[in-house]
Amino acid sequence: MLSILYDADKIASGTYNPSQLNLDNLYTKITFDIFSDFLMNHLMSLPRYHDFKGEFFLSIRNVAGSMEFSYLLNKNKIAYPYSLVVQNKGPSTMVAVLSILDLMSSESFDASELGKAIALFNMADVVAMLNNAVNTWKKEIVERDYSSPVISLALEKKLIKFSDFENLSTEKIEEKLLPLSLIVNEDLNRKLLFMEEFAEIHEIKSFDALRYINNYRTYAFESQKKNKEISQRQTGSI
């Protein structure tokens, strides 16, 4: 399935050979049909498609690379440094993909600002991913998702080992990881501040960059607030 993302540009141009896919599998066939329809009948009709298609397909390949990174990390149980995990996991949120899609729809966007805009989008990818990690790290313990930034930070600091997930209770692992979830949240807030500094220095004029950033700040606050309320209700019901 990753080949669909890696070769999205070929699908859009009609040069992709689907014989490498198992189209006898209903899920694979439906996924390919929907994605092909989106690319050829919707994406290519956008007014700025030809202006930004290279950057769009690169961002799609980055999503595929992020998925492959997580798959290999979990399969081979590799303890990568936290910084490398964050770098590789960021594109999985598809923020950059969707943001470039918005640019393709905007006839007023100044193409000379594309580099600055994509830099901001990539930062937003990381912010969204870290916010997700802060909210879901307990679930990722149960799922044995070692690509979680919280878990990867614990592995890097040698607070836990891969074998602990088989030998320790979920509650004990949560206890070990709780302080690190707070560290990841602090990293999230630092990256939001860096985004604001970047926007002020580079002065993107084609869209309201500070509003764009504030949307992610608000989302992070509201989602963490909701997650905390859910946790409190669950604790109170025990």
Render pLDDT for 133-156 as a digit per residue (tens, 0 to 9). 999 999 999 999 999 999 999 999
Tell me the per-residue pLDDT of 150-162, one tens digit each, with 9 for 90 and over.
Answer: 999 999 999 999 9
Residue 46 maps to a domain: no
- Give CA–CA dist 231/213, Å, rounded: 27
- Give CA–CA dist 92/70, Å, rounded: 9
The parent domain of residue 184 ranges over 80-237
- Residue 65 pLDDT > 60, yes or no? yes
Residue 180 maps to a domain: yes
- Once rounded to an integer, what is the mean pLDDT over residues 73-91? 97
The token pair at 41 is 């009948």
104, 52 contact by CB (below 8 A): yes
Residue 137 maps to a domain: yes
Cβ atoms within 10 Å, residue 69: 20
- Give CA–CA dist 42/196, Å, rounded: 33
Selection from 83, 82, 88, 96 nearest residue 70 by Cα: 88
- Give CA–CA dist 200/183, Å, rounded: 26
Number of structural domains (the chain) is: 1
DSSP for 172-194?
Answer: HHHHHHHHHHHHHHHHHHHHHHH
Selection from 168, 171, 167, 134 nearest residue 151 by Cα: 134
- Give CA–CA dist 151/176, Å, rounded: 10
Residue 133 maps to a domain: yes
Residue 50 maps to a domain: no
- Residue 237 pLDDT > 60, yes or no? no
- Once rounded to an integer, what is the mean pLDDT over residues 200-215? 94
Q: How confident is the model at residue 166 (pLDDT cuts 50, 70, 90)?
A: very high
- Once rounded to an integer, what is the mean pLDDT over residues 168-195? 96
Residue-level pLDDT at 223: 82
- Residue 234 pLDDT > 70, yes or no? no
- Give CA–CA dist 119/97, Å, rounded: 12
Top-confidence residue, 166 or 23 = 166
Top-confidence residue, 198 or 222 = 198
Residue-level pLDDT at 138: 96
Q: Rounded to whole angstroms, what are the CA distances from 78 to 74, 101, 116? A: 7, 34, 33
Residue 200 maps to a domain: yes
| Long-range residue pairs from 162-171, CB within 8 A, at least 24 positions apart, any chain | 162/77, 162/79, 165/141, 170/141, 170/142
Selection from 71, 66, 65, 56 nearest residue 11 by Cα: 56
Residue 134 maps to a domain: yes
Residue 49 maps to a domain: no
Q: What angle do CA 69, 155, 145 make, to 5 degrees?
A: 45
